[in-house]
Amino acid sequence: MALELNVLALSLLFLFASNAKAQSDNGVFDVMKFGAKADGKTDISQALMAAWRKACAVASPSKVEIPEGEYMLSQVTLSGPCKASVEVQVRGTLKAPADPSKFNNGPTWVTFQRIDHFTLSGAGTFDGQGGKAAWTQNDCKQVGRCNKLPINLRFNAVTNGLVRDITSVDSKQTHINLLSCKNITFANITVNAPAQSPNTDGIHIGRSSGINITDSRISTGDDCVSLGEGSQKITVTRVTCGPGHGISVGSLGRYREDPVFGITVANCTLINTSNGVRVKTWPASLEGIASDMHFEDIVMVNVSNPVLIDQEYCPGNKCTKAPSRVKISNVSFKNIRGTSATRVAVELTCSNGIPCENVEIGDINLSYIGTEGPATSRCSNVKPIITGKQTPLACGLTL
């Protein structure tokens, strides 16, 4: 009897070991081995979740793989903490449900949260399947409808991460959203949505620090990169933006917010955008701080409002006319060159309640491509530090 029990135990152990090996090869968990089908119509959410749970439980570095092909994926949340570092490698195209009503548990399609040492990689695509069915539901500026539609990718409390080589297409709302994250690099990211897609920010950052965005191409219907409250130690380099609303700090001051500081935007190119590099705060705002922000070596191609501080930001013009209480200080705009689609190429509109301090304008060379005359600048409630050459002449200076 004892011999039979030992044989049975060994058989079960062998079966479990064989099953584990079938699902994992050296810590690699392929969703196809968990029942996924690359037929473009079978929902792989359960297969992805099963592969994730296995990978997250491994005590050594592991990887979840989604091979080439087309997959349907419903709403999923991949949560930690995990026992070791985990990578999700997407080589195929993941397609979200086209109908916004299919998202019932919060406005996000794919969420990664509470993970340390996480990588999202591969030449794959996250297709949010936006379009008229979604975008017509969310036109805050024109009609005041501000429905919370699904975000393609959300990162909550992810630390020490790398996101590289992925593409986000036609999100119903923001493409990539970060909240309470630390030390993440986004490299070689592609975001693609039409200029007419409302509120589809490329990458939005809030209450996060140590975030680097580099070598990326963002085309969308809102800010290419937006840095919200609590954005600290953020670097944006070698990003090409357009169409879109530009690279923005803010809008700030609508709610009680953490300070924004340590922002560097450098070596970027903006093409046919409705704004260039800007800082925007609401009028009649709560108190806030935005400081140590630097915009350098920027190329503008047919950009409206290339250099902009706007402390009267009010889309829809339905705001209380009171000064912004967000204090802006230690800001520089240096070596910004190219063409402006509006005659006012440099505009610094600071709060008349708390004027901007220590704003430097250096080596600006922006030409207006219209027929209304040469490029001009406009400034209020600020006495900028002027360095280098200025075209147009900054803030009312004369020859």
What the chain holds in terms of domains, given with CATH numbers, is 31-396 (2.160.20.10)
- What DSSP line would sit under 99-137, residue for residue? SGGG--SSSEEEEEES-EEEEEESS-EEE---SHHHHTT
Average pLDDT of the chain, as a whole number: 92
CB–CB of 369/396 below 8 Å?
no
Q: Are strands 182-187 and 159-164 parallel, antiparallel or unpaired?
A: parallel
Measured CA to CA, the distance from residue 337 to residue 318 in angstroms comes to: 34
Q: What pLDDT, on the 0 to 100 scale, is given for residue 316? A: 78
Q: Provide CB contacts within 8 A for 84, sequence distance 6+.
A: 58, 59, 60, 61, 62, 117
The stretches in the chain having pLDDT less than 70 are: 1-24, 105, 138-146, 396-399
Q: What pLDDT, on the 0 to 100 scale, is given for residue 203? A: 98
Residues in the chain: 399
Q: What pLDDT, on the 0 to 100 scale, is given for residue 240? A: 98
Structural element, H or E, at residue 294: strand 288-303
Cβ neighbour number for residue 377 with a 10 Å cutoff: 23
Q: What pLDDT, on the 0 to 100 scale, is given for residue 9? A: 43
Measured CA to CA, the distance from residue 164 to residue 174 in angstroms comes to: 18
Closest C-alpha among 151, 149, 85 to residue 119: 85
- Residue 158, helix vs strand vs coil: coil
**Beta-bridge mates of residue 362:** 334, 387
Q: What pLDDT, on the 0 to 100 scale, is given for residue 7? A: 42
Q: What pLDDT, on the 0 to 100 scale, is given for residue 312? A: 95
Which residues are identified as catalytic?
245
The single residue listed with the structure tokens 């965005």 is 213
Quote the pTM value: 0.93
Q: What pLDDT, on the 0 to 100 scale, is given for residue 22? A: 44
Give Cα separations from 6 to 13, 17, 18, 67 (angstroms): 10, 16, 18, 40
Structural element, H or E, at residue 264: strand 260-271
* Interval 308-367: pLDDT, tens: 999 999 987 888 889 999 999 999 999 999 999 999 999 999 999 999 999 999 999 999
Residue type for position 106: G
Measured CA to CA, the distance from residue 162 to residue 169 in angstroms comes to: 20
Q: What pLDDT, on the 0 to 100 scale, is given for residue 345? A: 97
Which tokens in the block code for residue 55?
């990978």
**Beta-bridge mates of residue 359:** 331
CB–CB of 94/66 below 8 Å?
yes
Q: What pLDDT, on the 0 to 100 scale, is given for residue 141? A: 58
